[in-house]
């Protein structure tokens, strides 16, 4: 089969690799649609280490091709969505309700639940081996298209969880720093959670416009204004919840500085290097702030809930898909996505 294989920093491409087969508890999908995540760009650039020879990608939509022994309630031919994170449902982390941190065994290790395109072969391929299939195959309702569900595997699940982890209450004010695909889904999540006023922070014109479409009341351009001062002015002293969706010192610190006392910083970004917390931004430790972090929730029940939101018309992720590519052209898709040319938000990949 053909698959997009990582060979080392800046070296990826479609290769012929052996097709997987399903062992006990596993399933094989024929991939019908997938996408590229910002995390895949970090892998490609050598900023997040994975082993050479790994097929990357972690956002699979497909049709069941093979079912291993012990997987019940599914049939070959079923259309399914699988989350980017594949909890086993049985380990210490899973049974403590920390499914994203699944250790698929006795160990608990941060990021443990993220396996596709990280520690096992991923979804940018013709076929995908799904581990712990019983916990992870979410049947797609007949009235939903592949395009309507592909972004639920990761970015919508992650973005929404930024709002859920912050425990946004009806009437809260919220600021979301950065309106990339995950930040846009965090904005949509804040709206669904009942925020009364949502401020998007973004300077790219395409993303600023989409921010309003996803639910932002206003969008501030950090190149044009002092965002923290403007957030405080608009909200009468600071927001209840600040969501960080970029992963930089500046945006993390600006989130802290935008909070009202007792507010919550919900962090979605992936950071590198050292993250500093200046004492004044942190009210010297006396501001009653909460800082929460999120790794994309996965598992079939999470996917079912997200698909129900699309089915009911409460959330439409399709405007975020701006470009389509064949798997054979995936290197071009990475180039476009990585360079943010041509108003790209998310690219859909068809094998
Ligand atoms: Zn991702
Ligand atoms: Zn587990």
Q: Any idea which residue has 């995908």 for tokens?
A: 128
Q: DSSP letter at 197?
A: E
Cα-to-centroid distance, 296 and ligand 1 (Å)? 8
| Residue among 271, 254, 264 nearest 289 (CA) | 264
How remote is the CA of residue 325 from the centroid of ligand 1, in Å? Answer: 18
Of 88, 92, 32, 96, the closest CA to residue 64 belongs to: 32
Ligand nearest to the CA of 94: 2
Q: How far is the CA of 296 from the centre of ligand 2 (A)?
A: 14
CA of 298 to the centre of ligand 2 (A): 11
* pLDDT tens, per residue, the chain with 351 residues: 999 999 999 999 999 999 999 999 999 999 999 999 999 999 999 989 999 999 999 999 999 999 999 999 999 999 999 999 999 999 989 999 999 999 877 666 778 889 999 999 999 999 999 999 999 999 999 999 999 999 999 999 999 999 999 999 999 999 999 999 999 999 999 999 999 999 999 999 999 999 999 999 999 999 999 999 999 999 999 999 999 999 999 999 999 999 999 999 999 998 888 899 999 999 999 999 999 999 999 999 999 999 999 999 999 999 999 999 999 999 999 999 999 999 999 999 999
Spacing, Cα 38 to ligand 1 middle (Å)? 6
Protein residues with C-beta less than 5 angstroms from the ion ligand 1: 37, 39, 154
Q: What phi-psi label fits residue 111: left (phi over 0), alpha (psi between -120 and 50 degrees) or beta?
A: left
Neighbours of ion ligand 2 (CB under 5 A): 87-88, 91, 94, 102
């Amino acid at each position: 089969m053909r698959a997009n294989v990582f060979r080392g920093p800046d070296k990826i491409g479609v290769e012929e690799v052996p097709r997987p087969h399903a062992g006990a508890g596993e399933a094989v999908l024929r991939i019908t649609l997938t996408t590229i995540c910002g995390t895949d760009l970090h892998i490609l650039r050598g900023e997040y280490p994975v082993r050479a020879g790994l097929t990357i990608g972690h956002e699979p939509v497909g049709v069941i091709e093979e079912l291993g022994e012990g997987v019940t309630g599914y049939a070959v031919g079923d259309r399914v969505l699988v989350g980017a994170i594949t909890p086993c449902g049985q380990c210490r982390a899973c049974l403590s309700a920390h499914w994203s941190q699944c250790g698929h065994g006795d160990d608990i290790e941060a990021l443990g639940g993220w396996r596709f395109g990280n520690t096992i072969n991923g979804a940018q391929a013709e076929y995908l081996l799904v581990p712990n299939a019983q916990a992870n195959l979410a049947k797609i309702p007949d009235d939903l298209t592949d395009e309507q569900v592909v972004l639920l595997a990761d970015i919508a699940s992650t973005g929404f969880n930024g709002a859920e982890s912050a425990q946004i209450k009806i009437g809260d004010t919220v600021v979301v720093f950065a309106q990339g695909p995950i930040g846009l889904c965090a904005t949509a999540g804040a709206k669904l959670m009942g925020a009364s006023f949502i401020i998007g922070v973004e300077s790219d014109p395409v993303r600023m416009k989409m921010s309003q479409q996803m639910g932002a009341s206003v969008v501030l351009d950090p190149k044009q204004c002092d965002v923290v001062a403007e957030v405080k002015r608009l909200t009468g002293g600071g927001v209840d919840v600040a969501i960080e969706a970029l992963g930089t010192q500046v945006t993390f610190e600006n989130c802290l500085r935008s909070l009202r006392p007792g507010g919550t910083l919900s962090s979605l970004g992936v950071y590198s290097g050292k993250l500093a917390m200046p004492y004044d931004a942190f009210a010297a430790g006396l501001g009653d702030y909460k800082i929460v972090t999120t790794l994309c929730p996965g598992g079939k029940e999470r996917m079912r809930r997200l698909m129900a939101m699309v089915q009911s018309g409460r959330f439409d992720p399709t405007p975020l898909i701006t470009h389509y590519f064949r798997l054979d052209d995936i290197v071009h898709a990475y180039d476009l996505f990585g360079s943010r040319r041509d108003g790209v938000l998310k690219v859909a990949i068809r094998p």
